[in-house]
Amino acid sequence: PSNTGLSSLGILLAVLLFVRNSAAATLSIIQANLARRTPRVCNLTMAEKDTESGKPTRISHFRQVFDQAGITPEVENWPYDGSGTDEDPFVVGWIDHDPRNPMTYSPVKKWSLTMLVAFATLAVAFVSSAYSGGADQIIEQFGCSEEVYTLGITFFVLGFAVGPLMWAPMSELFGRQILFFGTYAALTAFNAGAAASQNVATLIVLRFFAGAFGSSPLTNSGGVIADMFPAKQRGLAMSLFAAAPFMGPVLGPIVGGFVGETIGWRWVEGLMAIFTGALWIAASLMVPETYAPVIQRKRAAALSRKTGKVYKSRGDVDQGPTTFAHVFKTSLSRPWILLFREPIVLLLSIYMAIIYGTLYMLFSAFPIVYQEERGWSPGIGGLAFLGVAVGMIFAVAYSIWDNKRYARTSDAHNGFAPPEARLPPVMLGGIAVPIGLFWFAWTNYPSIQFMASISAGVPFGFGMVLVFLGLMNYLIDAYTIFAASVLAANAVLRSIFGAVFPLFTTQMYENLGIHWASSIPAFLALACVPFPFLFYRFGSKIRVNCKYAQQADAFMRKLQSQMDKGDSEEESPSGSDNATDGEKTEEEKEHEREKMQEREEEEEEQEAIDYSYEHENEPGGGRFERIRTNQSRPQGAERRTSYEHNPYDLDRVNTRESFKGEQKYSQAVQGSGRASRASSRASKKKSNTAGIETHSVPTDCMPDRGLKAHRPPVANMRYIHSQEELTIPEGVKVHIKTRTVTVEGPRGKLVNNLGHLSVSFSHPAKDKIAIELHHGARKNVATLRTVRTIINNMIIGVTKGYKYKMRYVYAHFPINVNLDKQKDTGLWEVEIRNFLGEKLVRKVMMQPGVDVEATKNVKDQLEIKGNSLEAVSQSAADIQQICRVRNKDIRKFLDGIYVSERGNIVEEA
C-alpha cells in the first residue's frame, strides 16, 4: 500500500458512509409518502386483521437496521401506561410479540448476528498478533531495536485497556449499532494508515489508536448477545463468542507470518485493513440496534413526534434523566472501586491476567524457540500456534457439553443457580494450563521432535478458554448488578498484563534460557490453581463478607422472591387471603394486634429519623420497588420462572445509583438532626421493655436487611429470641431441608424455597414445627409470622385447595372468554374477546398448577382452582389487571372481570 492507496481507501470509506446515510434517508421518505397516500382506514383495518389472526405486523430486516424505533400499527395503538402529559407521560416498553424486541428474533437471525459479532471480535484479536509476522522487516527497514518493535504489540493491547472505559458509557447513551459503526470504521482507517507509516513512531501511535477503537467489539459484542438470548440459552452463544478473542491471536501469527515473508510487512497491515473493512461493511448492513433502552427511547421520541403527546421510555421513567458527563465519570471510577475493594474481583482478575499475559508472551517466545533455535521461517513458525488453536476448539466443545450440567443445576434452583455452579470447568482448566506450560518448557529442546512441544499447546489452549469463560460467568453471576463494571476492571488489568509481558520476554529468555524462562508462567499458573477450588468450597461465605457481592446477592434474592411469590404488597396472599379461609383464632388475633402496634411504632420512628428512602436510589431498596410497581402485571408475570435479565443493563442502573447512594448517605449523616430525638425515644423504650436489647450498630457491621446497605446507624431494637409454632394436621407431611419447605397431602405436593429468609426450623414434637429467630429486629420477627402463614397456606392447599370465582361485568358489549390448554406446556391460556367492543384479543397465561373453567350453572363466571394460594391469586390478579382501562375510575367504570368470591375446593362439612 502507498499514500495513493491510503487516500483511495479513505475515499471509499467516505462513499460507503454517504451511501448508508442516503439509504436511511430514502427509506424514511418512502415510508412518509406511503403513509400519506394510503388511507388511514386501510391501515387500521390491516392492523385489526393481523391482530385478530394473532399475526403481528412484521418489519423487514433492513428496516430494522435503518429504523431503530420500529413503529407499527400495533405499537402506535398499544394501551401504554400513563395519560400522555408531562406529569404522566405514556410509558413505552415492549408490546406483545414486538417485532423490534431482539429477544423475539428468529433463531437463524440470532445465530447469524452472533457469528458476525464474534467474527468482528476475532478480527480485532487477529490484528493484535498478526503484526508479529513482519517483525524482521520492520526492524530492518526502520533500524529499531526488538524492544521498540515490540511496543507495536504493547500499545495495541494498551488500547484494549483504555477503550472500554470510553465505549461502555457511550453504548449506554447512543446504543451498540452507532458505536460499532463508528469505532470499526476508525479501526479500519488506522490499520490502513499503519500500512503507509514512514517511521516506527507513527506505526506505534497508529497501532495504539487501532487498539483503542478496536476494543469496542470486545466490550459491546457480549452485550449484543445478551440482548438477544435469555439467560438459559446464553451459554452456547457466549462460549462461541468467548473463543473469538483467543482464536484471533492464535491465527494472527500464522497468517501474518506467511504474508510478511512473501509480500512484505506493509501488506500485513493492509490485509488487516481489508479484513476489518469487509466486516465493517457487512456488520453495518446486517446488525440492527439491539440495546433495549435505546430502542425504546427512539420509539418514544418517534411516537411523541407523530401523535403530539408525551411518550417516555420505561428506562427513562425508572432511572430519570442522565448526562454523558455523569455516566462517563461513573464508568471511569467504578471499575477501580470494585477491583481494589472486592478480593474476589482482584484475585480472579489477577489469575485471568496471568494467563492472558502468558498468551501474548508466546508471541515473542515462539519465534525464539522455533525460528531462532530451530531455524524455521516466520510463516512456518506461526504454525506452532495450531496446537493452542486445537485446544481452544476442544474447550468450546466441552463448554457446549458442560452447559447441559449447568442447565440442570439452574432448573434445580428455579433459574437462580449459585455462582459457584460456574466453577467446575474452571477447576479442570486451571489444572490443564500449568500442565501445558510445563510440557512446553521441557520439551522445546531442538533435539526433541517439534510435535512434542507444539502438542503442549493443546492443554494450554483448552484450559485457557475454560478458565476465562468460567470465571467471566462466575463474576457476572456473583456481581450481577455490577457485571459490566467488574468485567471492565478485569479487562483493564488483563490488558495491562498482556501489554507488559512481551516487553521482558526477550531478555528473560536470553538470561534464563528457553526452559526456565518458559517455566516461570507455568509456576505462576500453578500458584493460581487453588483459586477456583477455594471459591467453589467457600465462595458463598466469602461473598457474604464482600460489600458489593453481598448487595448483588441480596438483589438476586429479592428478585427471586418477587418472581416466585408475585407482588405480595398488592395481592397480600399471606395475610388478607388467609383470613378468609376460616375464622381467626384468638392467637392469630393477638398476633395481628401486636403487629399493628409494632407497625405504628415503626412508622413513628421512621418519621422521626426521616431516612428518606425514596431518594436513596439503592440497588434493591426503594428504587427497585418503583421499577417493579411501574411495570404492568402481565409483563411481570412473564418473567417469574427464571432470571432473564441482561447483566450489562443491571450494571448500568444499579452501580451508578449505588455509588450515588453512598454520597447521599454521607450528606444524610451530616444533616441528620432528628437522629438524636430518635435515639432518646429508643432509650426510653429500652427501660420499659423486658427481654429486649438496645444498641447502636455501625453501618459496616449492620446485618443484611434486603438491599438497604446505606442505612444510617440508629438505635436498633432487637429481640433476644422469637419463636412461632405451627401444628401439622393428620395426613400431611412436612419436610424442611436447607430452608426448602416441602408439604405433601391428599391433594398433592407443594415446594417453596425460603432460603432468602434468615430463620431456622425445628420439630419440638412430631406434629409441630417451630420457626425460630435469634437477635432479630421487629421486621425480622414479623418475618416469623410470615413464614408461619406461608407454610399454613401450603398445608391448606394440599388438603383443601383454593378456589377463586370471577364474574364478568359489562354494560353494553358482552365479554367472551375462551379457555385453551397449551399442549407443549400444559398451562391454561385465557383469551378475552369483545372487551368494550375491541377486536384486540387479550390473552393471559395461568400460573403452573392452576386450572380454570367456566362455571356450569352460572353465566359469565370463571372458577380458578389450584393448590398454591400464590399461583391462584396471581392468576386472578393477572386476569383482572389485563382488563384494566387506563384513565377510568373503577368506582364509576365497572367493565372488567373481578374476583367475586374466595374459598376452598374442598368445602367444610
Amino acid identity of residue 513, one-letter, is G
| DSSP H/E element including 743 | strand 740-745
Residue 609: predicted pLDDT: 36
Q: What is the pLDDT of residue 572?
A: 45
**Which pLDDT score is estimated for 464?**
92
> Which whole number is the average pLDDT over 365-386?
85
The percentage of the chain sitting over the pLDDT mark of 70, rounded to a whole number, equals 73
Q: Do 869 and 793 contact (CB within 8 A), yes or no?
A: yes
pLDDT score recorded for residue 593: 61
- Of 5, 61, 584, 625, the closest CA to residue 277 belongs to 5
For 896-907, the pLDDT digits (tens) are 898 989 999 887
Q: What is the pLDDT of residue 595?
A: 58
C-alpha dist (Å) from residue 480 to 485, 705, 778, 842, 859: 10, 18, 30, 34, 49
The pLDDT value given to residue 15: 45
In this predicted structure, the answer to whether residue 753 has a pLDDT above a threshold of 70 is yes
* Banded pLDDT at 798 (limits 50, 70, 90): very high
Residue 547 — pLDDT band, cuts 50, 70, 90? confident
Beta bridge mates, 749: 744
Whole-prediction pTM value? 0.57
Name the more confident of 220 and 122: 122
pLDDT digits (tens, 9 = 90+) for 254-310: 888 888 888 889 999 999 999 999 999 998 888 899 888 889 889 999 999 888 889
User: Residue 907, class by beta-carbon neighbours within 10 Å (0-12 exposed, 13-18 middle, 19+ buried)?
Assistant: exposed
Among 87-96, 310-319, 525-534, where is mean pLDDT lowest?
A: 310-319
Residue 232: pLDDT band (50, 70, 90) is: low
Beta bridge partners of 312: 91
Write down the pLDDT at residue 466.
92
Amino acid 567: pLDDT: 44
Place 455 in a pLDDT band, splitting at 50, 70 and 90: very high
Average pLDDT over residues 802-820: 88
* Whole-angstrom distance, CA of residue 800 vs CA of residue 581: 10
User: Would you state the pLDDT for residue 135?
Assistant: 84
For the ranges 114-128, 220-234, 801-815, 871-885, the lowest mean pLDDT is seen at: 220-234
Q: What average pLDDT does range 177-206 have in this prediction? A: 91
Question: Residue 573 has what pLDDT?
Answer: 44
**pLDDT of 562:** 65
Contact 292, 181 (CB under 8 A): no
Which range in 195-204, 567-576, 667-676 is most confidently predicted, on average pLDDT? 195-204
> For 673-687, what is the mean pLDDT?
41
Position 710 scores a pLDDT of: 40
Q: What is the reported pLDDT for 591?
A: 59
Question: According to the model, what pLDDT value does residue 754 have?
Answer: 86
State which amino acid sits at residue 140.
E
**CB 16, CB 281: distance < 8 Å:** yes
Among 52-56, 526-530, 571-575, name the most confident range: 526-530
The DSSP element (H or E) to which 476 belongs, if any, is helix 457-478
Task: State how far the Cα of 733 lies from the Cα of 795, in Å rounded to an integer.
Answer: 9
Residue type, 540: S
Report pLDDT for 637. 37
**Mean pLDDT, residues 9-34:** 49
Q: Three cell numbers at 676?
A: 438524636
Distances (CA, A) of 284 to 111, 116, 218, 278: 17, 11, 17, 10
Question: Whose CA is closest to 402, among 418, 386, 424?
Answer: 424
C-alpha pair distances (Å), 676 with each of 31, 603, 605, 748: 66, 17, 12, 55
Mean pLDDT highest for which of 422-431, 756-765, 815-824?
422-431
pLDDT at residue 281, as a whole number: 92
Tens of pLDDT, residues 826-881 = 899 999 988 888 888 889 999 999 999 998 888 889 999 999 999 999 999 999 88
Out of 26-35, 750-759, 800-809, 849-858, least confident range: 26-35
pLDDT of residue 48: 45
Q: Which of 14-23, 79-88, 144-153, 527-536 has the lowest mean pLDDT?
A: 14-23
Residues in the chain, how many? 909
pLDDT at 531: 93
Coil/strand/helix, residue 70: coil
Radius of gyration of the chain, Cα coordinates, nearest whole angstrom = 31
pLDDT at 180 over 80: yes
- Alpha helices (H) in 671-806, listed in sequence order: 675-688, 778-799
